[in-house]
Structure 1
Amino acid sequence: MNLLRKTGTAQTVSCPAVIIAAPASGQGKTTITAALARLLHNQGKVVRVFKTGPDYLDPQILAQASGYPVEQLDLWMAGEAYCRRRLFEAACTADVILVEGVMGVFDGEPSSADLAARFGLPMLLVMDVKGMAQTVAALASGIAHFREDVTIAGLVANACASSRHRELIEGAMPDDLPLLAAVPRDPNLALPERHLGLVQASEVRDDLELRFEAGAQALASEGLGDALLGLAPVVFEAPLDEPLVELPSLAGTTVGVARDAAFSFIYQANLDLLQQMGAQLCYFSPLEGNRLPDCDALWLPGGYPELYAQSLAENRGMKAALRGFFVAGKPILAECGGLLYCLEALTDCNGQTHEMLGLLPGEGAMRGRRGCQGMQTAPLPEGPVRAHAHHRSRSEGTPEPIAHGKRQRHPAPGEPIYRARRLTATYLHLFFPNNPAAVARLFSPTPRQTGDQSDSRSLFDAVE
């Protein structure tokens, strides 16, 4: 465990830390981060891993590789104080911290580079070098010198074809930018993917173990673990000037959380916050269960209902239980895949249409490679909550929304937000720690906000 030190009025702690970044998406950031986490874990190190930006699939992979839960760090969605606190808390117990970047190094506002600059984190540049040799050095050098407030510690050449390929790249690298590792082009190292990103860890756990170990061995032969541990430790400062805010209470409230292969897009930070507010959590499977647990509120998170639409449609016991919970006027939050589940029908990736819950009018359907993604604020009646959208489906015939998401930097209306009884349904994935008070109101068995909650009519309203 690292020792805390006090500097003036601030507590500090230090440990090696690095952001694994890349020139673009698809360069192998998650593969390298997972392999590095497993390598260090195998060496007996406590490895804490974070993911930059809103992502559910990469953290599942990285949690299995490192042996610890993985949380998001995002300066816009979570805020600087939140990120600072999470890094400080991790550094108190970790031997090393890894942060996987998002998209390209400088992409987005804020970007991975912004996060690195804010907290003094060096960056490890991962680049797929297929089809390049000396040009790799030119691109890496340009990235390294693009901003003075960002430090690139070195390059990992991913998908390197041969020892000669490595020699050509290394010979062209500038003296201040070392080639720290050359990872061979090997399909056994790459992580499996599907239409929204990586395949969920729970679906391919044994296969992932083989890939983690193979990746760890490849990085060990390059000495990347030792190179990382040899970097100058990063000093993390506790956010002592952060005002103390008493969390709203959900004491006595039990929140049922759908969690299975169809519904798994869950921020660990969201679960942690609900528990910190006093809520009891219980989990259920809309795929395999036939009744709900004894609970006061429900959360239907995003996931892959389109891959399991037939099973969801055939589970009549669960559908009846969810409909009864809705009719009873109990709070339900349905996000993205949860929204699709609440509609009348869902057309899956093979063009087959299946009956869903019918809590909201409308039908959902997959739409190939086209999709929607981006940061938005959800202006809920309970209060604004920052969120993001990422889906490749569309919904039609839905009721008039009570509001639309507000995009981060674009005036066009964002994702619609629907309200029927105590059901709140939207494509947006909410980051609960951004506004705990709003989240407490949302899940409270007794409504705590003003305003009309019946702007959207359910199918059940027509038959009562």
Structure 2
Amino acid sequence: MNNFVTSCILIAAPSSGSGKTTITAGLAWLYRRQGKRVKVFKCGPDFLDPLLLGFASGSPVDNLDLWLVGEDLCRQMLAEAARDYDVVLIESVMGLFDGEPSTADLAVKFGLPVLAVIDAGAMAQTFGALAFGLAHYRADLPFYGVLANKVAGERHAQMLQESAKSEHWMGWAGKVEPLPERHLGLALPEEIPDLAAKLDAIADALATQPIAQLAKPIAMAAPVCFEVKPLLAGKRIAIARDAAFCFIYPANLRCLELLGAELRFFSPLAHESLPECDAVYLAGGYPELHADTLAAHPSIRTDLAAHIAAKKPIWAECGGMLALGDSLTLVDGSVKPMWGLFPARATMQTRLAALGSQSLNFGSGGDGEIRGHTFHYSTMATEMTPVAYGAPCRLGSNGEALYTHGYIRASYIHAWFMSNPVATAALFGAVV
């Protein structure tokens, strides 16, 4: 078994809002400017941060999560990244020790050096106590160093560095213009004006700091890749992909390709017709931001109705499910007609409706279980009776419903196909 060696840093923080994504994107941009091949991962089931980080790194961003993705696939993806890239950056989810399993669990499992990014904008010597706590709270954590963010200037930075004492000081970054956000997270890269200039400014701030020098390389053992049988060989899957349907894991596309499917992408926002296909994948995204344009599509309802009449499957998750519904009520109270193929009425709200990791069982026994994640600001009313409910990762949370309506299967859960390629193949029409 070969070992692959690369420079690797896991960028974590005490909490969300500390600036992890900004620093990770700035480092990726900085290392690219140095001529390095950069691969970025995002911990947890995130869609929006990976889009920005993919823009910054120049490569697709994959997710790492010990429960959702699984230890074996995490190990495989890290080894492949170490083999193919000069630098591997991993952005944490929430705080370093938050969640079960946490980012710290991931770091310990794979020996990933942790850089703690601390928002120091409203503190001085307490910075050192916080850095010490993150470094020593867990004895087996491979701690790499600490970086102060949102610093007022040189004098402030000096106080912070002195307070950190024995912790490995990796520099500081001043206050920069925050990247724009909305509900669910960051704006899409194509919606951020002068994004390259913003990344240049962050990279320039980091270029004079110790973090600009690559971390000491670490070795990652290459695992034996598990086999995925081509159960979808000869099948064509049409996938909606644009600003309204953008929550697509890169690993999901690879899973479908490994299963032997031919992927055909189309944009409902651009009023493109449904491609000739054997199955349809409607992923989540922002149908609520583009409701009028989606409703005005001249042929999509007819195309999908003919697809269903031909007894061909559709998998719709979250936003994809809302687009298939009868109507979507926006936060201003206006009611927008949707495609009317799924008897449900959705309503957007200003507060989070659900968040968490869950799995759905699409068949009898454990063989049909696919893991996933739910995160949405809408609620849905329907007369349909769910055929199953998600199994919460944590006790006490409500499981999301799985609906079957003719040849449509739909849920708020964003499925992680690689958690069960066989069940995924069945979802898209394979006989297994």
Contact 1:309 1:348 in 2 (8 A): no
Whole-angstrom CA distance in 2 between matches of 1:323 and 1:365? 24
The answer for the alignment partner of 1:371 in structure 2 is: 353
The structural deviation recorded for 1:391 is: 0.4
The 1:100/1:412 distance shift into structure 2, 3 A limit, reads closer
Contact 2:266 2:272 in 1 (8 A): no
Whole-angstrom CA distance in 1 between matches of 2:11 and 2:208? 19
Provide the aligned length of Structure 1 versus Structure 2. 429
The structural deviation recorded for 1:290 is: 4.3
Amino acid at match of 1:418: Y
Query: Given the alignment of the two structures, is residue 392 of structure 1 paired with residue 363 of structure 2, yes or no?
Result: no
Amino acid at match of 2:156: H
The 5 A counterparts of 1:301-340 are 301-340=283-322
- Secondary structure at the aligned position of 1:362 is classed as strand
Contact 1:306 1:349 in 2 (8 A): no
| More divergent stretch after superposition (392-401 vs 57-66) | 392-401
Identity of aligned residues (%): 45
The structural deviation recorded for 1:340 is: 0.7
Query: Given the alignment of the two structures, is residue 197 of structure 1 paired with residue 185 of structure 2, yes or no?
Result: yes
Whole-angstrom CA distance in 1 between matches of 2:18 and 2:358? 26
Query: Given the alignment of the two structures, is residue 235 of structure 1 paired with residue 219 of structure 2, yes or no?
Result: yes
Structure 2 segments unaligned to the other structure (5+ residues): none
The answer for the alignment partner of 1:48 in structure 2 is: 39
The structural deviation recorded for 1:246 is: 4.2
The answer for the alignment partner of 1:245 in structure 2 is: 227
Whole-angstrom CA distance in 1 between matches of 2:14 and 2:322? 34
Amino acid at match of 1:289: H
Contact 2:301 2:341 in 1 (8 A): no
Query: Given the alignment of the two structures, is residue 161 of structure 1 paired with residue 152 of structure 2, yes or no?
Result: yes
Whole-angstrom CA distance in 1 between matches of 2:309 and 2:191? 34
Whole-angstrom CA distance in 2 between matches of 1:419 and 1:313? 23
Deviations 1:141-166 (A, max 9, x none): 11110001112211111111121211
The answer for the alignment partner of 2:195 in structure 1 is: 208
Whole-angstrom CA distance in 2 between matches of 1:336 and 1:300? 9
Contact 1:248 1:436 in 2 (8 A): no
The structural deviation recorded for 1:371 is: 2.5
Contact 1:360 1:399 in 2 (8 A): no
Deviations 1:36-77 (A, max 9, x none): 001000100011111111011111111110111110011101
Whole-angstrom CA distance in 2 between matches of 1:416 and 1:430? 13
Whole-angstrom CA distance in 2 between matches of 1:319 and 1:212? 41
The 1:379/1:140 distance shift into structure 2, 3 A limit, reads same
The answer for the alignment partner of 1:143 in structure 2 is: 134
The answer for the alignment partner of 1:184 in structure 2 is: 174
Whole-angstrom CA distance in 1 between matches of 2:196 and 2:422? 40
Query: Given the alignment of the two structures, is residue 421 of structure 1 paired with residue 406 of structure 2, yes or no?
Result: yes
Deviations 1:242-271 (A, max 9, x none): 6x4342421111100001111000000000
- Secondary structure at the aligned position of 1:64 is classed as helix
Whole-angstrom CA distance in 2 between matches of 1:375 and 1:96? 29
Deviations 1:89-136 (A, max 9, x none): 110121111000100000011111000000001100011112111111
The 5 A counterparts of 1:63-78 are 63-78=54-69
The 1:355/1:121 distance shift into structure 2, 3 A limit, reads same
Whole-angstrom CA distance in 2 between matches of 1:398 and 1:275? 36
Whole-angstrom CA distance in 2 between matches of 1:180 and 1:238? 30
The answer for the alignment partner of 1:432 in structure 2 is: 417
The 1:412/1:199 distance shift into structure 2, 3 A limit, reads closer
| More divergent stretch after superposition (317-326 vs 149-158) | 317-326
The answer for the alignment partner of 1:61 in structure 2 is: 52
The CA RMSD over aligned residues, in Å, is 1.4
**Which segments of structure 1 move beyond 6 Å, counting only runs of 4 or more?**
none
- Secondary structure at the aligned position of 2:207 is classed as helix
The structural deviation recorded for 1:350 is: 2.6
Amino acid at match of 2:63: Q
Contact 1:34 1:66 in 2 (8 A): yes
Amino acid at match of 1:233: P
Query: Given the alignment of the two structures, is residue 300 of structure 1 paired with residue 282 of structure 2, yes or no?
Result: yes
- Secondary structure at the aligned position of 2:269 is classed as coil
Contact 1:360 1:398 in 2 (8 A): no
Contact 2:230 2:258 in 1 (8 A): no
The structural deviation recorded for 1:314 is: 1.7
Per the normalisation by structure 2, the TM-score is 0.96
Deviations 1:359-415 (A, max 9, x none): 222210111023211000111127110000000110012411000100012155410
Amino acid at match of 1:191: L
Amino acid at match of 2:408: L
Amino acid at match of 1:402: V
Deviations 1:423-450 (A, max 9, x none): 1100000000000000111112x6x37x
Whole-angstrom CA distance in 1 between matches of 2:65 and 2:58? 22
The 1:32/1:305 distance shift into structure 2, 3 A limit, reads same
Per the normalisation by structure 1, the TM-score is 0.90
Whole-angstrom CA distance in 1 between matches of 2:188 and 2:153? 31
Whole-angstrom CA distance in 2 between matches of 1:381 and 1:413? 20
